[in-house]
Structure 1
Amino acid sequence: MQDEPPFGAPCWISYRFDTFKAVDFYKNLFGWWLEEQEGWGANTPGQTCYRGGSKVASLVPIIEFGDPQWCVYFYCYDLDQTIASVSQAGGVVNFIWSKPGTREGPHAYFSDPMGGQFACLQPESLDSLSSFGETHGLCWVDLSTPEVDRAVNFYTDAFNWSMQRMPSNSERYHATQTVGKWGTAVGARSIEFAGIAAAKSHTPWRPYFKVNSISEAVTKVSELGGTVRRMVGRAAELADPDGVPFGIADYW
């Protein structure tokens, strides 16, 4: 049986799009197949993305206003308690979707004290969380901010993360938790799933997807109209044709 992720671990991602250019980009890059979602009240339907038999993401249309962007959802056992925890830590609740039986489950959208956006999800089923660490599924999330200490303190308080300063970079921290079985992680061990790094400007939570070959994936990104921003060891920072940042890595 699929065990629950640790509290505060990234468990779902959604992408707000205004044209099908981005939908086609990710579909062709990762080989996802798409299933239309109902109930968006827009001419353009939302899409649930699958890789193999696992759900990996949702692509949803921008209904009224806003820019294309990825939204990272962190796992919670109880949405009401998490709303209280995030608020007490200094976060702001932007919107709550608590109706049961809809999409992935009850969830809420927040702003952190630095102005970054994220969400929390209390899933209806653990089946949608099984793709973490699988090829072409979510394997990491990363936040860049000029207020790294403030960010570390906030997410530690909100989600009880264990934050480790990286020996090779004193302005970079990784969040770790001990799990039994989650995604492709099997056996009780400490895993890393999120990073917070100092930067001159703020970049929202950026999802990273697992690939088998960085070089092949980077070539494909360029062919499909994306941009390679930076190569970082066994990972790469990229942007899709709309300029929305994301990343790839060949490990987890």
Structure 2
Amino acid sequence: MLTTDYVPGAPVWVDLGTPDVEAAAAFYGALFGWEFRSAGPEAGCYGMFTLEGKTVAAAGPLTEQGVSSAWTVYFHTVDADATAKAVEQAGGTVRFAPFDVFTRGRMAGFTDPTGAQFAVWQPGENKGLDAVTVPNTLCWTELYTTDPAAAKAFYHSVFGWAYEDVPMGGFTYTVVRPSGGGQEASQGGLMGLNDAMLSAGMTPRWQPYFEVADCDAVVATASERGGTVPMSPEDIEDVGRVALLTDPFGAPFAVITTA
């Protein structure tokens, strides 16, 4: 499970790139009870989603040419520059080179060899999200990839991740853990895109999961607020009730009521 005791390679931050920050804030506020607090013009209209005063996510306007609205998962690193070199050596691409975010920390963005985008955060004053795993916060991260073997080799090379392959009704789901972490440290999953997913237009990506008290109620609210539901709520044995959603601007994410 995710915790705020961040270790290298663990999810540490998640933010939304969107063409309409105000409208997106209203959508996610209705879903999760989040409040949006802008960091001001000097931060490029970037701001934090808070829940009971704790930062649980962030959002800002799209800043790269030709990109679509999406959530980005950030992984903890003690050295963003060294991680950038490791990404290139492992066959990934540096989307934007490491840079300092005032005194808050240092960040960089990458694309893995199968086309999924992610980022890293080297903490400064900002150590990461203030709350995870509890209702209406980040609780899991999941990679959809066209080449699970290549993805596993890449992320192991970059972050030292450990994996456990779990058969799940006709396909294999890979559970991800940081280096040296036991089963209780599981932080995400990795799965291959099958033909049906590819035909439906899915492409390699990292996707955040948010814990919710009532999966069906959140899905209903998302539909009423202009979101779409690529996968209606389904029960997964020993996991929970899960749904895949897309916000009004096309950013995919998932919600789960954990078993």
| Both structures adopt the same fold (TM-score exceeding 0.5) | yes
User: What amino acid maps onto 1:248 in structure 2?
Assistant: V
Asked whether 1:246 is paired with 2:248, we answer no
Which of 217, 235, 243 is the matching residue for 2:242? 235
Q: Secondary structure at the match of 1:151?
A: helix
Identity level (%): 32
Question: Counterpart of 1:57?
Answer: 57
Give the TM-score normalised by the residue count of structure 2: 0.83
User: What amino acid maps onto 1:117 in structure 2?
Assistant: Q
Q: Is the 8 A contact 2:72 2:119 kept in 1?
A: yes
Residue by residue over 1:203-245, the C-alpha shift from the partner in whole angstroms, topping out at 9 and shown as x without a partner, is: 4111111111112111111111111211342211111112221
How far residue 40 of structure 1 moved from its aligned partner, in angstroms, is 5.3
Using the alignment, how far apart are the partners of 2:248 and 2:165 within structure 1? 33
Question: Counterpart of 1:185?
Answer: none
The number of aligned residues is 241
Using the alignment, how far apart are the partners of 2:254 and 2:218 within structure 1? 10
Residue by residue over 1:79-108, the C-alpha shift from the partner in whole angstroms, topping out at 9 and shown as x without a partner, is: 222222222222111212422535x41000
How far residue 146 of structure 1 moved from its aligned partner, in angstroms, is 2.0
Question: Counterpart of 1:6?
Answer: 7
Question: Counterpart of 1:196?
Answer: 190
Q: Secondary structure at the match of 1:157?
A: helix
How far residue 128 of structure 1 moved from its aligned partner, in angstroms, is 3.3
Q: Is the 8 A contact 1:179 1:190 kept in 2?
A: no
Q: Does the C-alpha gap of structure 1 residues 147 and 189 become closer, same or farther in structure 2, counting only changes over 3 Å?
A: closer
Asked whether 1:211 is paired with 2:212, we answer yes
Q: Does the C-alpha gap of structure 1 residues 193 and 232 become closer, same or farther in structure 2, counting only changes over 3 Å?
A: farther
Using the alignment, how far apart are the partners of 2:64 and 2:76 within structure 1? 27
Q: Secondary structure at the match of 1:122?
A: strand
User: Mind listing any 5+ residue stretches in structure 1 that lack a counterpart?
Assistant: 181-187
How far residue 189 of structure 1 moved from its aligned partner, in angstroms, is 6.0
Residue by residue over 1:126-151, the C-alpha shift from the partner in whole angstroms, topping out at 9 and shown as x without a partner, is: 65333121221111111112212211
Question: Counterpart of 2:238?
Answer: none
Q: Secondary structure at the match of 1:99?
A: strand
Using the alignment, how far apart are the partners of 1:249 and 1:217 within structure 2? 10
Q: Secondary structure at the match of 2:207?
A: strand
- Pairwise CA RMSD: 2.4
Residue by residue over 1:166-224, the C-alpha shift from the partner in whole angstroms, topping out at 9 and shown as x without a partner, is: 132543211024889xxxxxxx8622211111113324111111111112111111111
Runs (4 or more) in structure 1 with deviation over 4 Å come to 39-42
User: Mind listing any 5+ residue stretches in structure 2 that lack a counterpart?
Assistant: 236-240
